[in-house]
Structure 1
Amino acid sequence: MRALLDRSAYAALLIGVLAQLLFSVNLARPTKPVFDEVHYVPAARTLLALERPANPEHPPLGKELIAGSIAVFGDTPLGWRAAATLAGTATVLGVFAILLLLLGSVRTASYGALLATLNFTVYVHARIAMLEPFLGAFVVGGIAALLWAMRSPPKRVTPRWVLGSLLLGLATAVKWTAAPYVAFAAIGFVALRVRRSDLWAGLTIGKALALLGVVSLAGYFATFLPYFFLREDPLTLAKLLPLQWDMYKLQTQVLQAHPYQSGWLSWPFAIRPIWYLYEPVDGAVRGILYLGNPLVMWGGLVAVAWLGWHWWRTRVPVAGALALLWAASLAIWAAIPKSLGFYYYYHLSGVFLCVAIPAAFHLHAGAKPSRALFWFAVFAGALFIRFLPILSAAALPNDQAFTQWMWLDSWR
């Protein structure tokens, strides 16, 4: 066990450093706000100055983290996006931790982290001041912490369970779409605990659910603290709950049609990606296409299907849990009352595919290293390099250069 911990620590350190370096290269390019940065960067500036409420349809934490990044690195493109790179790296390491805790293989966990790094959606969101990078980091981190508690010594179960509960609460404080994961955690805990009393030893069902609810809610509401010190229309305890209703009304309002809108059933097939940027800027035509790595996104569907079949045939809990996690992350959007959908809502589901793929290879291969997983990662890396110019806002030769990457007409 000590050897496994040592190897996993070194692997995680190496992966984290490499991911952070990759996400940080040319981070300040382009020098203008990209896509929804036009909403969140001004909101972060306003919050940093404690002026007034801004971007009221979402909870505050994502904007607070962008504001903190600006406070540390300056009100520059680097400052807007620096915190997102840390969130991207945290997401990659969270994938590593989930796979390590579930399967006990440093190799499989490393492949999962590599696929997350090479998944275009994680890369793009790790380099932009939007809410998705923070949402992904807190949800994945929360799941990892709850799994960490699952087989911990009794004295350490409760603190680790509290950590996971807090991270899920903070995820909800970034976007409400994280709230269902608190419910998923409760359902998953109860389903496993009633069958295996040795899991989360010393933590009763009642205590676990109470802690999950109380800690996640406390973490969520604590992020509203800066709103109490705004110079204009400061928050009060009497206004705190009515503010939640106001946020709900803003999030469920009927919006006008958008050229990049898409339905949730289309997201797994990457039919309608989004051009976050495509225009002359900083002396050249540059583009940022928000699209999943096709091999990860489409291959991941095969992995999820196989995991579901494998669970049905063998009742291996890990296989069923990972297939269900991906399916539930997509099904959320069938229930959420939003008038428009966008491909970037699939961000978390794409991250879970990076868990499902190496898990499927691992379970299929048994104790033997999977050569097929190695080649899968190689081809995913080749696609990442191929698409990198339109993921990183590199200079393109002309305004029609994008056509060489358009595999489907709907990508245009």
Structure 2
Amino acid sequence: MSHSSQTVADARDDAPPSPPSWEQRLRRFGYTPRAGAGVRERLVPPYPLPGAKLWQYFGLSSAAAQRLAHWSAWGGPLLVALLAGVLRFVNLGSPDAVIFDETYYAKDAWSLLQHGYETEWPENADDEIIAGRTPEADEASYVVHPPGGKWVIALGEWMFGLTPFGWRFMVAVLGTLSVLMLCRIGRRLFRSTVLGCLAGLLMAVDGLHFVMSRTALLDLVLMFWLLAAFGCLLADRDAARARLAGALPTGGDGLLRPDADVGTRLRLGPRPWRVAAGICLGLAAATKWNALYVLAAFGILIVLWDAAARRTAGAPRPYRAMLRRDAVPAFVSTVPVALVVYVAAWAGWFATSGGYYRNWAEENGADSSFSWVPGPLRSLWHYTFQVYDFHVDLTSAHDYESNPWTWLAATRPVTYFYSSREQGEDGCEHASGCAREVLALGTPLLWWAGCFAVVYAAWRWLFRRDWRAGAILCGVAAGYLPWFLYQERTIFYFYAVVLVPFLCLAVAMMIGAILGPPGCPERRRVAGIVGAGVLVLLIVWNFIYFHPIYTGTEIPLDGWRARMWLDTWI
């Protein structure tokens, strides 16, 4: 080989490797590869330190800024949760009435406290309860949801009695705690206290989450356990990756090096956060069955996370390594744990003999091929199938039913309570009359911004390969897409409350992009702060404007009409 040919060959060998074909194809759609990061940073990204320029502007030293940042990791979320709690607990007992489906769940919860199972109530029970009298009820009732969420409501009734405040108390507690959780989840997801607290603030001022937090329905309880499960899986992700990073060898420059043996063979040991996620998913399924779709989606998510972690650690065949080392423990720590928790939620039904279908196996299943299964479990299995048939055949028309195609646009909210009076009637002084309403409507500007944020998250996941966007989309898809299988059923917009945390995370991610990346020019940063600030202030104003029709506050009828932006809201 000639000297010139050898030189060309050497130059070709020294050239940086060309990007993979998928990356080259995606460049035309705006894909920009992330700047190089070490193995440790890719496994467990650090929380960034406070920017010196910002804190110097406020006259703080570097040490003071770091102490403030350390405090804000919990202090910020706690302040946001305090705001959410004040909003939710003020006048929690108003309206002093049994509103919407509280007529089922508040009374079922009280029956669980008294008997261990749900019972039938007389027709005038709601009026009697509001008048301070508790009717007798002991005959078993056929109910179509598991008892887990009703036990949560019952805890408030145990503390404060069968009153509107009592049956709404624990739901308001979970609504407040969910805001705190979302702040911490957002902080871990984005590695930013500001964006985490922003996500929590957005949920604190979302109208649907707010109304559901002040109403004794099951869907807010369901949302709480699903969000808790997501948070546990995030914590498990960080913990498992930290173990991988701790086992990797260090090069001469002090940086971690990928290692095929570690990435392929390392056993990650006990994963308590994953077991905690299984418990939360079991509690969610014991509240409403649509949690099972989320369980399946989260199962796929953790499989992908485990494979990606082993790839980063150096496994040449990460999916094979994941299947050999992680798949079985992941299944055992979630599905069987969730099943045990679900069955345990029926403890009151098992411990008594008066529950609906409680003795079915003894009365009808003696000759069954499953007679070796304990009778109470066979009775519960039969009950489960009967309830499933009820749900899939539920097609009766309802004034407020809606198609899931309309949910993200919030075009068909549900009225939980409404009353109106003419001028001069019971103290109404307004010429147009007076109106009170509790409307389960998401803060419109937040939900409409959420539509764009979901599209943005999809773009980040597809073209930037951003795992955070993928996690958010997983939560949205798991809580939303299954309802398209049941479009002929009687379903309602407020089921979408399980989407609210993930919509808020998506909007927070979009606002983070508006603020600009680290190191961007000052002019770009100022423009981003102004744009993001305007959007957040508009959302907060929108919540304040609709607050009277979220709480049943009496307002002039003209004011009520002004808030009906769409005809379909009436």
Q: Same fold (TM over 0.5)?
A: yes
Cα separation, 2, equivalents of 1:174 and 1:55: 16
Match of residue 263 from structure 2 = none
Cα separation, 2, equivalents of 1:338 and 1:50: 36
Match of residue 123 from structure 2 = none
Q: Which moved more, 1:358-367 or 1:129-138?
A: 358-367
Contact 1:150 1:157 in 2 (8 A): no
SS at the partner of 2:437?
A: strand
Match of residue 39 from structure 1 = 104
Does residue 1:104 correspond to 2:184, yes or no? Answer: no
SS at the partner of 2:100?
A: coil
Within a 5 Å distance, the mapping from 1:280-319 to structure 2 comes to 280=420, 285-319=435-469
Cα separation, 2, equivalents of 1:16 and 1:299: 22
Match of residue 393 from structure 2 = 253
What is the aligned length?
Answer: 410
Does residue 1:219 correspond to 2:359, yes or no? Answer: no
Does residue 1:388 correspond to 2:547, yes or no? Answer: yes
Cα separation, 2, equivalents of 1:238 and 1:273: 39
Q: Which amino acid aligns with 1:80?
A: W
Cα separation, 1, equivalents of 2:486 and 2:145: 15
Cα separation, 1, equivalents of 2:145 and 2:108: 11
Match of residue 321 from structure 1 = 471
Contact 1:319 1:360 in 2 (8 A): no
Q: Which moved more, 1:224-233 or 1:347-356?
A: 224-233
Does residue 1:345 correspond to 2:495, yes or no? Answer: yes
Within a 5 Å distance, the mapping from 1:150-229 to structure 2 comes to 150-152=237-239, 153-154=242-243, 158-197=271-310, 204-229=326-351
Cα separation, 2, equivalents of 1:312 and 1:89: 34
Cα separation, 2, equivalents of 1:260 and 1:172: 25
After TM superposition, give the deviation of residue 209 of structure 1 in Å.
1.6
Contact 2:297 2:474 in 1 (8 A): no
Contact 2:116 2:349 in 1 (8 A): no
Match of residue 560 from structure 2 = 402
Q: Which moved more, 1:245-254 or 1:162-171?
A: 245-254
Cα separation, 2, equivalents of 1:160 and 1:77: 36
Q: Which moved more, 1:106-115 or 1:67-76?
A: 67-76
Q: Which amino acid aligns with 2:380?
A: L
Cα separation, 2, equivalents of 1:136 and 1:79: 20
- Specify every segment of 5 or more residues in structure 2 that has no aligned partner in the other structure, as ranges: 1-46, 48-65, 119-140, 244-267, 314-321, 359-375, 428-433
SS at the partner of 2:407?
A: helix
After TM superposition, give the deviation of residue 97 of structure 1 in Å.
2.4
Cα separation, 1, equivalents of 2:484 and 2:209: 23
After TM superposition, give the deviation of residue 210 of structure 1 in Å.
1.6
Aligned match for 1:144, one of 224, 231, 239? 231
After TM superposition, give the deviation of residue 5 of structure 1 in Å.
5.6
Contact 1:329 1:348 in 2 (8 A): yes
Match of residue 257 from structure 2 = none
Within a 5 Å distance, the mapping from 1:54-73 to structure 2 comes to 54=141, 56-73=143-160
Q: Which moved more, 1:50-59 or 1:289-298?
A: 50-59
Does residue 1:239 correspond to 2:379, yes or no? Answer: yes
After TM superposition, give the deviation of residue 115 of structure 1 in Å.
0.2
Please give the TM-score of this superposition, normalised by the length of structure 2.
0.68
SS at the partner of 2:290?
A: helix
Match of residue 505 from structure 2 = 355
Please give the TM-score of this superposition, normalised by the length of structure 1.
0.93
Contact 2:207 2:440 in 1 (8 A): yes
SS at the partner of 2:551?
A: coil
Q: Which moved more, 1:184-193 or 1:119-128?
A: 184-193
Match of residue 167 from structure 2 = 80
Contact 1:29 1:393 in 2 (8 A): yes
Match of residue 113 from structure 1 = 200
After TM superposition, give the deviation of residue 310 of structure 1 in Å.
2.4
Contact 1:43 1:55 in 2 (8 A): no
Identity %: 29
More helix by share: 1
Cα separation, 1, equivalents of 2:296 and 2:181: 20
Match of residue 366 from structure 1 = 517
Aligned match for 2:536, one of 368, 377, 388? 377
Q: Which moved more, 1:314-323 or 1:211-220?
A: 314-323
After TM superposition, give the deviation of residue 336 of structure 1 in Å.
4.3
After TM superposition, give the deviation of residue 275 of structure 1 in Å.
1.1
Contact 1:20 1:89 in 2 (8 A): yes
Contact 2:435 2:560 in 1 (8 A): no
SS at the partner of 2:308?
A: coil
Per-residue CA deviation, residues 110-159 of structure 1 (Å, 9 max, x unaligned), is 00000001110010000000001101110011101110111115489611
Q: Which amino acid aligns with 2:419?
A: E
Q: CA RMSD in A?
A: 2.4
Q: Which moved more, 1:217-226 or 1:9-18?
A: 9-18
Q: Which amino acid aligns with 2:555?
A: L
Within a 5 Å distance, the mapping from 1:260-279 to structure 2 comes to 260-279=400-419
Q: 1:314 to 1:51 in 2, by over 3 A?
A: closer
Higher-Rg member (1/2): 2
Q: Which amino acid aligns with 1:249?
A: D
Per-residue CA deviation, residues 85-123 of structure 1 (Å, 9 max, x unaligned), is 111112212321221111110000000000001110010
Q: Which moved more, 1:389-398 or 1:22-31?
A: 389-398
